[in-house]
Amino acid sequence: MKNTKILSLLLIGIVLLSGCAAKPETNVTAYLDELKTSISSDLNTIAIEKYFDTDVQITENNQEFTLESHESNEMTLRYLELFRGFEYKVIDSTVDGDTAIVNVELTTYPVGELLQNYMVQLFSNVFEWSFAGLSEEEMTERSTTLFLELSNELEKTYISTVPVYLVKKEGKWLMVGSDKNFELINALTGGVLEFAKKLAESSDVNG
């Protein structure tokens, strides 16, 4: 009788412990919360190592992906404001053995669209500025003003629900690295990765 009671208590304990085990969405929410303050102008910082099982491939050929090059500090700071302004909501999750999918709704600024509009308007103005005899410093100032004006018009209209793929390793849920979670990273950047991909493809065709 005593052994039966002990066995029952052990079974109850196992059930309670399994119910308290970390769920896959815990990893995802912890990652997104930390990302709001850790992301920098080097977009490779979007891949916080401790939340992934392997290295994350941000771009197709793994080149550096930074917002620093040829841009003013004001633009860099504005980029960071836009990227850190995302909001998220966990929709649901499914677990299949040691793999899981967490569906997350992300709402942020359409930065990819911003970059496209900025490049179009910049190219239409740069020759005019050059013929007008503007110095490099003056052109940088005007391009910065153009970017800031366009970015100030943005609203959080980039809304997407993306699947986040995870795998359990040594009892811990981790997001899958490489390019498996491209949709997540692209959504977090407001479509910047998709914009960069299309730009690269266009360059290859025209090249």
Q: What is the DSSP string of the chain?
A: -HHHHHHHHHHHHHHHHHHHSPPHHHHHHHHHHHHHHH--SBGGGGS-GGGBSS-B--STT----BS-TT--HHHHHHHHHHHTT-EEEEEEEEEETTEEEEEEEEEE--HHHHHHHHHHHHHHHHHHHHHTT--HHHHHHHHHHHHHHHHHT--S-EEEEEEEEEEEETTEEEE--BTTTHHHHHHHTTSHHHHHHHHHHHHHHH-
Domain boundaries, the chain: 22-112+153-206
pLDDT, tens digit (0-9, with 9 covering 90-100), for 34-85: 999 888 877 788 889 999 999 998 865 555 566 664 567 899 889 889 999 9
Residues 12-37, mean pLDDT to the nearest whole number: 75
Residue with tokens 């110095």: 135
pLDDT-derived band at 17 (thresholds 50, 70, 90) equals very low
pLDDT, tens digit (0-9, with 9 covering 90-100), for 154-178: 999 999 999 999 999 999 999 999 9
- Residue 63: per-residue pLDDT: 53
pLDDT, tens digit (0-9, with 9 covering 90-100), for 175-185: 999 999 999 99
pLDDT-derived band at 9 (thresholds 50, 70, 90) equals very low
- Residue 60: per-residue pLDDT: 59
Q: How far apart (Å, rounded) are the C-alpha atoms in residues 85 and 154? A: 12
Report the DSSP beta bridge partners of residue 161.
105
> How confident is the prediction for the chain on average, in pLDDT?
85
Residue range 22-112+153-206 forms a domain whose CATH class is: alpha beta
pLDDT, tens digit (0-9, with 9 covering 90-100), for 92-150: 999 999 999 999 999 999 999 999 999 999 999 988 898 888 998 899 899 999 999 99
